[in-house]
Amino acid sequence: MCYHPSVPDVLLIEQLVADALERAWPEATHRRIRLPALPGKADAVIGPRRAGKTWLLYAHAAALQAGPNPVAREQILYLNFEDERLAGLVADDLHLFVDAWHRRHPAVLNHERYLLLDEIQTVPGWERFVRRLLDEQGNRLVVTGSSARLLSREIATALRGRALTTEVLPFSFAEALTHAGMAIPDRWPAPRTVAPVLRHALDRYLQTGGFPEVQTLDGDLRARVLRDYVDVALLRDVIERHGVTNIPALRSLSRRLLAAPAGKFSVHRVHNDLRSSGLPVSKDSLHEWLGYLEDACFVFFVPIYTQSEAVRRANPRKAYPVDPALTPGTGDIGHRLETVVYIELRRRGYELAYLQNADGTDVDFIATDWDANHVLVQVSADIRDPATRVREVGALATAMRERDIREGMILTLNGAETLEVPEGEIHIRAAWEWLASGG
């Protein structure tokens, strides 16, 4: 039987709408994220839990009111569907919010109306409601959700090409600096007095990560909060959503992924390890779980660079958590740095793979932009050791030669220079500068 609100529920909806239209937007940290806001299309904001999607909506609403063509406050309605008082709501009930809005401010029907629907995935059939509003003149919609599969894949079909997806990840290094009140230089290279401050800030960021809520917490409390994030993501976005019953094996899998950031991951090896530990699980289940974890923006996987699908399937993938702080303990600083670089390249819109040269050496990333241009990126925390320098430069030069790419980049915590090699130029850059400067 479908749920239909009774009179008290309708009164609750009236009150929620009245409260929503009176609320002030809290001041939010500036994010280097912009919603496309194209007429006739919904903006779908996806990303992991606690990454700041709701605060992005607040900032978007505040920007609408403060922009060159200010939008009146009553033209903006923000609704959070994780409110426990709305449990049981279905798509057929959603019009009650819009009706209450229009009754309260009928003049908004003569203007563009901005509807911000937070965690809309909690309402079964929500996409039909969104599609109907998009068909009506003057409605501008933003929807958010914590499951990548729920929004990006379902919107592609349910909204029939009428939505654009924006991914919100935890604070980038530059955003974390802004959140902490630290000034980012307008011009680069940074002054000598600023460089050590930014380097120290990056050292901290590699341990603290970018989840907004933990930025000011000490180590022990931060670790407890982050463990809770992991537990909630597993429970709500994987176990409950997909009906996973082999919970011990799933938890073991997630621990392995978080404990080895930037590591190569083989389902075959994990399958054998789990079985030998008394946790029998099928390979098909492991493949499904990996998809669920990636859909929930918990961990991301990077394949080997190849044109052959068979080769891609036969080779291990590299796994990166959504935030370096999810790695337990202090972790390997080089792997944490590689994780941060991966997330930043993803944030900048690159398609990513790792590269294996003919001689067996690897390059961490071959990043491909929309125009099919390639960027080779190697990550090494410290290349001052001669053997490390030879290894990293050699692998990058080999990739440049084999792929006919004239430039490569090594991101490190120490040093900055340009090397002339027979294959072209290799730019050694301080990671803190590359991250903070945006390029």
Q: What is the 3-state secondary structure (H, E, C) of 48-103?
A: CCCCCHHHHHHHHHHHHHHCCCCCCHHHEEEEECCCHHHCCCCHHHCHHHHHHHHH
Q: Name the burial class of residue 315, with classes exposed (0-12), middle (13-18) and buried (19+) by CB atoms within 10 angstroms of its CB.
A: middle
Q: How many domains does the chain have?
A: 2
Domain presence at residue 2: no
Q: How far, in Å, are 211, 212, 322, 331, 385 from residue 199 at the CA level? A: 20, 20, 22, 18, 19
Q: What H or E segment, with its residue span, contains residue 333? A: helix 333-347
- Domain at 151, CATH number: 3.40.50.300
Residue 410 near residue 390, CB atoms below 8 Å:
no
- Residue that terminates a domain, selected from 129, 150, 168: 168
Q: Three-class SS of residue 258?
A: helix
Residue with tokens 């003919």: 358
Residues 197 and 264 in one domain: yes
Q: 154 and 190 share a domain?
A: no
d(CA 332, CA 325): 12
β partners of residue 299: 321
- What is the structure's pLDDT at 187? 87
Q: What is the mean pLDDT of each run of 10 residues along the chain (439 residues)?
A: 53 95 94 92 91 95 93 97 90 94 97 95 88 94 76 63 90 97 89 92 97 95 96 92 95 95 94 94 96 92 95 94 91 93 97 97 97 96 95 98 97 93 96 91
| pLDDT score recorded for residue 149 | 55
Please tell me whether residues 64 and 185 are part of one structural domain: no
The reply to whether 1 falls in a domain is no
Identify whether 158 is part of a domain. Answer: yes
Q: For residue 106, say if its preceding peptide bond is cis, omega within 30 degrees of 0.
A: no
pLDDT at 6: 44
Query: Are 401 and 295 contained in the same domain?
Result: yes
Strand pairing of 362-368 and 374-379? Answer: antiparallel
Instruction: Name which of 158, 130, 157 is nearest 142 in CA terms.
Output: 130
Q: Are residues 193 and 332 in the same domain?
A: yes
Q: Which of 148, 168, 188 is the last residue of a domain?
A: 168
Where are any strands of DSSP class E within 273-333?
A: 299-302, 317-321
Do residues 210 and 169 touch, judged by C-beta distance below 8 A? yes
- Contact between 50 and 213 (Cβ < 8 Å): yes
Task: Count other C-beta atoms under 10 Å from residue 384's C-beta.
Answer: 11
What range defines the domain where residue 301 resides? Answer: 174-437
Is residue 244 in some structural domain? yes
- Please enumerate in sequence order all residues whose Cβ is within 8 A of that of 341, keeping only pairs 6 or more positions apart, or say none: 364, 365, 377, 379, 411, 431, 435
Q: Which residue has the tokens 């190849």?
A: 306
Residues 220 and 122 in one domain: no
Closest-CA residue to 369 (of 358, 377, 357, 361): 377
pTM: 0.93
pLDDT for the residue 315: 94
Q: Is the peptide bond before 280 cis (omega within 30 degrees of 0)?
A: no
pLDDT at position 1 is 42
Assess contact for 13 and 96: CB atoms under 8 A: yes
* Domain-embedded: residue 388: yes
CA distance 4 to 404: 64
Q: Are residues 70 and 114 in the same domain?
A: yes
Choose among 46, 49, 60, 37: nearest CA to 165.
46
Q: Which of 134, 168, 202 is the last residue of a domain?
A: 168
pLDDT at residue number 161:
80
Q: Where are the alpha helices (DSSP H) in 145-303?
A: 148, 154-158, 173-179, 195-208, 219-232, 241-242, 247-259, 267-276, 283-295
| 317, 256: one domain | yes
Instruction: Write down the pLDDT at residue 165.
Output: 87
- The answer to whether residues 138 and 198 belong to one domain is no
Contact 401, 381 (CB under 8 A): no
Q: Is residue 342 part of a domain?
A: yes
CA distance 229 to 211: 10
Letter string b/e over residues 122-141, b meaning 16 or more CB atoms within 10 A of that residue's CB:
bbeebbebbbebbeeeebbb
Instruction: Look at strands 317-321 and 263-265 and give their pairing.
Output: antiparallel
Instruction: State how far the Cα of 423 lies from the Cα of 403, in Å rounded to an integer.
Output: 10
DSSP for 159-186, written as a single string: STT-EEEEE--SPPHHHHHHHTTPPPPS
pLDDT for position 127: 87
Residues 202 and 311 in one domain: yes
Residue 354 placed within a domain: yes
Same domain, 136 and 239: no
Please name the residue ranges forming H helices in 361-430. 386-403
Q: Do 329 and 362 lie in a common domain? A: yes
For residue 258, give the amino acid letter: L
